[in-house]
Structure 1
Amino acid sequence: MKNIKNTLLGLTVAVTTLTACNKAANKDNNAEMNTEQHANPDQIYACPMHPEVTGAKGDKCSKCGMELQAVNKEAAAEIAVKISTTPAVIEAGKSTNLTIAVTDGLKPISLEEAHEMKMHLLLVSEDLSWFNHIHPQEQKDGTYTVSETFPSGGNYLLFTDYKPVGLAGAVDMQKVEVKGTTVTSKMDYKPKLVAEVDGYKMTLLNGADFKTNSSQDLQFSVEKNGKKLQESDFENYLGAKAHIVMIGKEDKDFLHIHPISDKRFPIYAQTHIKKAGVYRMWAQFQVGGKLHTADFTVNVEEGAKGTEENHSGHQH
Structure 2
Amino acid sequence: MKRFVRRVSAKPIIWSFVLGMCVVRGAEAAQTQNVPGTNTVMPAPPLSSSVEALAMLLQVVNRLEHYVKTKDLGSIHNEDTILGVALNGLLANANTEGREHAGAFKADLTALGQAVSALHGQADRMKQAQSEAELRNVLALFYKVRAYFTESIRTSAQTLAYRYRCPMHPNVTGKQTALCPKCGMELDQLVRVLPADSGTALAMQQTVRASVRTAGPLAAGQAVTVFLRLERVTGQSMLPADLIETHSQKIHLLIIDSSLTDYHHEHPQPTGTPGEYVFSFTPRKPGGYRVWADLRPYPLGLQLYAMTDIPSLTTGQPLTDRAVKFKAIVDGLNYELFLDQNQLKVGRPAVARLRITTADGKGFTQLEPIMATFAHIVGFSEDYKTVLHMHPTGPPVLNPSARGGPELLFQIFALQPGFVRLFAQVQIDGRSRFAPFGVQILP
Same fold flag (TM > 0.5): yes
> How has the CA–CA distance of structure 1 residues 103 and 177 changed in structure 2, closer, same or farther, with 3 Å as cutoff?
closer
Match of 1:90 in 2: 218
Match of 1:249 in 2: 382
2:236 corresponds to: 106
* Aligned CA distance change for structure 1 residues 199 and 261 (closer, same or farther; 3 Å): farther
The residue number in structure 1 matching 2:425 is 284
Asked if the contact 1:9–1:173 (Cα under 8 Å) also holds between the matched residues in 2, the reply is no
**Would you say 1:216 and 2:345 are equivalent positions?**
no
Distance in 2, matches of 1:199 and 1:252, equals 32
Residue by residue over 1:72-98, the C-alpha shift from the partner in whole angstroms, topping out at 9 and shown as x without a partner, is xxxx965332322223x4333333221
Paired with 1:112 and 1:62, the residues of 2 have a C-alpha distance of: 15
Between structures 1 and 2, the one with greater strand share: 1
Letter matched to residue 86 of structure 1: A
Q: Is the 8 A contact 1:195 1:295 kept in 2?
A: yes
2:258 equivalent in structure 1: 126
Contact 1:10 1:173 in 2 (8 A): no
Q: Taking structure 1 as reference, are residues 83 and 186 closer, same or farther at Cα in structure 2, changes over 3 Å only?
A: closer
Question: Structure 1 251/141 Cα, relative in aligned 2: closer, same or farther at 3 Å?
Answer: closer
Pair 1:145-2:190 in alignment: no
Q: Deviations over 1:194-246 (max 9, x none)?
A: 0100111010112853222311111111101324436x532221011211101
Unaligned 5+ residue runs, structure 1?
Answer: 1-7, 12-24, 32-38, 49-53, 71-75, 303-316
Pair 249,29 (structure 1): closer, same or farther in 2 beyond 3 Å:
same
Q: TM-score, normalised by structure 2?
A: 0.51
- Post-superposition shift, 1:58? 7.4
Q: What corresponds to 1:313 in structure 2?
A: none
Where do residues 227-266 of structure 1 align in structure 2 (5 Å cutoff)?
227-229=361-363, 233-250=366-383, 252-260=385-393, 266=407
2:329 to 169, 181, 196: 196
Structure 2 segments unaligned to the other structure (5+ residues): 1-16, 21-69, 77-103, 142-204, 396-404
CA–CA separation in structure 1 for the residues paired with 2:306 and 2:277? 14
Q: TM-score, normalised by structure 1?
A: 0.69
Aligned equivalent of 1:225, options 359, 363, 369? 359
Q: Is the 8 A contact 2:330 2:434 kept in 1?
A: yes
- Work out the CA distance in 2 between the residues paired with 1:60 and 1:149: 33
Q: Measured at CA, do residues 9 and 219 of structure 1 come closer, stay the same or move farther in structure 2, by a change above 3 Å? A: closer
- Change in Cα spacing, 1:118 to 1:129, as seen in structure 2 (3 Å) is same
Q: Distance in 1 between matches of 2:373 and 2:236?
A: 35
Offset of 1:155 from its aligned partner? 3.2
Alpha-carbon spacing, 1:251–1:136, altered in 2? closer, same or farther (3 Å) = closer
* Residue type of the alignment partner of 1:152: K
| Structure 1 pair 257–46 and aligned structure 2 pair: CA distance change class (3 A) | farther
Contact 1:208 1:298 in 2 (8 A): no
Aligned residues: 262
Is this contact kept in 2: 1:127–1:187, CA < 8 A? yes
Candidates 35, 38, 43, aligned match of 2:109: 43
Distance (Å, rounded) in 1 between the aligned partners of 2:295 and 2:335: 29
CA–CA distance in 2 between the matches of 1:116 and 1:175? 25
- Paired with 1:28 and 1:106, the residues of 2 have a C-alpha distance of 34
